[in-house]
Amino acid sequence: MDSVCVNKSGLDQSIDWVPLTLTFVEYPKGNVFGKLLALFSLTPFMILSGFITLILFRRDLHTITFFIGILLNEICNSVLKHVLREPRPLARNTNLLYSEYGMPSSHSQFMWFFASYMLYFTFIRLQYANSKAFKEFFWKVAGAVSCIIMACIVSYSRIFLQYHTWKQVLFGALFGIIIGTIWFALTNMVLTPYFSTIISWKISELFLLRDSTLIPNVMWFEYTNIRHEAGTRARRRKSISAKSQ
């Protein structure tokens, strides 16, 4: 019987250890630009963290639906990779990669799904209640352009860092835009009309789910209502304090 070498922790030392490479990104040593692109390539994980935070603290049905679309997009990417089975560039060490397949790029597909959905949401769904048309249009364009620029940077980072070829990134972008377009259309025309019914369910009340679809500017709505409520409570407190004196 072969002897097994065991360390102090009781683990077999012959076991091969691999890193959790979901966020493991390599870049050329000493290359500042490459390091910057490596940081930008982590953008999808930051967006996912933002979604989880928003869902936990806001409980908005549209945010939840958007997040479900992102998860479905990732599932589609995984299926496409295992159907197409195109390897990554030969320059990469596949032993250090989360997946050996590179077609289509998951980072590129994720970012272009997010960018395309945000573009539709900004110009179709996001409406304002005041008359400052130019200011509103400026912020819409700025937000949409920022999403597109970020998607371009993340996509290019995957090529520069040699995780994907141009073709893999371009097809990732194409699939992301297509799936993002389909999911927004499905959400806007099919799912949204049912939101008012869903929030009336007991389970929705239990989890404090809300629907802000009919509110033109949620941030402005919450700001004005909170400011009004805070002012009312402050005046009430002063009145009670004055009476007690």
Threshold 0.85, pTM exceeds: no
Q: Residue 64, by phi and psi: left (phi above 0), alpha (psi -120 to 50) or beta?
A: alpha
Give the per-residue pLDDT at 20. Answer: 46
pLDDT tens per residue, the chain (245 residues)?
Answer: 445 455 554 545 556 555 445 556 777 788 888 888 888 888 888 898 989 998 898 888 888 999 999 999 999 999 999 898 888 886 655 555 556 778 899 899 999 999 999 999 888 877 655 556 777 778 788 888 999 999 999 999 888 888 888 999 999 999 999 999 999 999 989 998 888 888 889 998 888 888 887 776 777 777 788 888 888 888 887 777 777 66
> Residue 16 gets which letter from DSSP?
P
Give the per-residue pLDDT at 184. Answer: 94
Give the per-residue pLDDT at 93. Answer: 58
Residue with tokens 């900004």: 122
Give the per-residue pLDDT at 5. Answer: 52
Give the per-residue pLDDT at 15. Answer: 60
Distances (CA, A) of 57 to 51, 60, 157, 208: 10, 9, 32, 10
Q: Exposed, middle or buried: residue 181 (CB in 10 Å: 0-12, 13-18, 19+)?
A: middle
Give the per-residue pLDDT at 227. Answer: 84
